[in-house]
Amino acid sequence: METLVTGARGQLGRELAYLINKAGRSDECLFASSEQLDITNPSAVLETVQRMQPRVIINCAAYTQVDQAESEPENADAVNHRGAAHLAAAAKEVHSLLLHISTDYVFGNSGSHMPITEQTAPNPMGVYGRTKLAGEQAIRASGCRHIILRTSWLYSAYGSNFVKTMLRLMHGRPEIRVVNDQIGSPTYARDLAAAILQILRSGVPDDKLGTYHYCNIGACSWYDFARTICEYAGLSEKCRVLPCSSAEYPTKATRPPFSALDTTTLRHTFDLSIPCWQDSLRGMLSDLSELS
Q: Write down the H helix ranges in the chain.
A: 11-22, 42-52, 73-77, 84-94, 127-142, 162-172, 189-201, 222-232, 264-270, 277-291
- Considering only 64, 216, 259, 263, the residue that binds ligand NAP (CB under 6 A) is 64
- Considering only 61, 90, 91, 163, the residue that binds ligand NAP (CB under 6 A) is 61
Stretch that binds ligand NAP, among 6-14, 194-202, 237-245, 283-291 (CB under 6 A): 6-14
By CB under 6 A, residue 211 contacts ligand NAP: no
Q: Which positions from 18 to 57 touch ligand NAP by CB under 6 A, shown as an x/- string?
A: ---------------xx--xxxx-----------------
- Considering only 3, 4, 5, 12, the residue that binds ligand NAP (CB under 6 A) is 12
* Contact of 92 with 143, CB cutoff 8 Å: yes
7 phi, psi to nearest 5 deg: 60, 40
Identify the three-state secondary structure at position 179: strand
Q: Which is nearer to ligand NAP, 242 or 249 (CB)?
A: 249
What distance in Å separates the CA atoms of residue 51 and residue 287, rounded to the nearest whole number? 36
242 phi, psi to nearest 5 deg: -120, 150
Residues 112-171 that bind ligand NAP (CB under 6 A): 132, 151-154, 159
CB of 236 to ligand NAP, least distance (A): 25
What distance in Å separates the CA atoms of residue 161 and residue 183, rounded to the nearest whole number? 17
Measured CA to CA in angstroms, residue 240 lies from 32, 282, 284 at distances of: 41, 20, 22
* Contact of 136 with 284, CB cutoff 8 Å: no
In single-letter form, the type of residue at position 231 comes to E
- Considering only 3, 4, 5, 7, the residue that binds ligand NAP (CB under 6 A) is 7
The region that residue 148 occupies, defined by phi over 0 for left and psi between -120 and 50 for alpha, beta otherwise, is: beta
Q: Is 214 a catalytic residue?
A: no
Residue sitting closest to ligand NAP (CB): 10
Residues 80-119 that bind ligand NAP (CB under 6 A): 83, 101, 103-104
Tell me the number of residues near ligand NAP by CB under 6 A.
Answer: 29
Annotated catalytic residue, options 18, 63, 105, 128: 128
> DSSP state, 117?
P
CB of 34 to ligand NAP, least distance (A): 3
CB of 203 to ligand NAP, least distance (A): 23
Residues at the contact surface with ligand NAP, assessed by CB under 6 A: 6-7, 9-13, 33-34, 37-40, 60-64, 79, 83, 101, 103-104, 132, 151-154, 159
Q: What are the catalytic residues?
A: 128
